[in-house]
Amino acid sequence: MGQTRLNPSRSASTREQDERLAVNHIAEQLQPVDDLTVLVFCSSRYDLSRLNDALRQAFPGEVLGCTSAGLIGHQGFQRGGMTAIGLSKSAYRVEPYLIKPLSDCNSEIATLAQKLKTQSPDAFSAGKTFGILLVDGLSQMEEKVVSALDEHLSSIPVVGGSAGDDLRLRETHVIFGGGVHTDAAAFAFVTTDVPFELLHVHHFVPGQRKIEITSANSNVRTIYEINHETAALAYADLVNVSMADLNPNVFSRHPLLVEHGGRHFVRSIQRVNGDGSLTLYSAIDGGHTAWIGEPREPLTVLTEAFDSLPEPVREPSLVIGFDCVLRRLEFEQKRLDAAVGRFLSERHVVGFCTYGEQYDNLHMNQTFTGVALKSG
pLDDT at position 5: 53
Tell me, yes or no, whether 245 lies in a domain.
yes
Q: Do residues 98 and 223 both lie within one domain?
A: no
Name the least confident of 39-53, 212-226, 252-266. 252-266
Q: Do residues 37 and 166 both lie within one domain?
A: yes
End-to-end CA distance of the chain: 19
**Mean pLDDT of the 13-23 span:** 98
Tell me, yes or no, whether 139 lies in a domain.
yes
Q: Do residues 311 and 237 both lie within one domain?
A: no
Q: Do residues 54 and 171 both lie within one domain?
A: yes
Residues in the chain: 376
Final residue in a domain of this structure, among 295, 322, 340: 295
Model confidence at 205, in pLDDT bands (50, 70, 90)?
A: very high
Within 13 A of 26's CA, how many CA atoms are on the CB side? 34
Q: Do residues 14 and 132 both lie within one domain?
A: yes
Tell me, yes or no, whether 208 lies in a domain.
yes
Final residue in a domain of this structure, among 265, 295, 325: 295
Q: Do residues 281 and 316 both lie within one domain?
A: no
Helices (H), 155-275: 231-238, 248-253
Name the least confident of 54-68, 72-86, 116-130, 139-153. 116-130
* pLDDT tens-digit map of 45-66: 999 999 999 999 999 999 999 9
Q: What are phi and psi of 330, to 5 degrees?
A: -65, -45
Q: Do residues 284 and 345 both lie within one domain?
A: no
Q: Do residues 241 and 312 both lie within one domain?
A: no
Tell me, yes or no, whether 147 lies in a domain.
yes
Tell me, yes or no, whether 2 lies in a domain.
no
- Residue 90: CB atoms within 10 A of its CB come to 10
pLDDT at position 2: 35
Final residue in a domain of this structure, among 255, 277, 295: 295
Model confidence at 376, in pLDDT bands (50, 70, 90)?
A: low
To the nearest whole percent, how much of the chain has pLDDT over 90? Answer: 89
Sheet containing 63-68: order of strands: 9-14, 82-88, 36-43, 63-68, 174-176, 179-181
Domain region containing 48: 9-201+299-373
Question: Is the whole-model pTM more than 0.85?
Answer: yes
- Dihedral Cα 176, 179, 184, 190, nearest 10 deg: -10
* pLDDT tens-digit map of 131-154: 999 999 999 999 999 999 999 998
Domains held by the chain: number: 2
- Per the prediction, the chain carries an average pLDDT of 94
Tell me, yes or no, whether 4 lies in a domain.
no
pLDDT at position 4: 41
Please check the confidence at residue 121 and state whether its pLDDT lies above 90: no
- Dihedral Cα 171, 173, 178, 184, nearest 10 deg: -110
Tell me, yes or no, whether 1 lies in a domain.
no
The answer to whether the Cα torsion of 41, 70, 271, 367 is positive or negative is positive
**Mean pLDDT of the 359-366 span:** 94
**Mean pLDDT of the 111-137 span:** 87
Sheet containing 71-73: order of strands: 76-78, 71-73, 349-354, 318-324, 368-373, 196-201
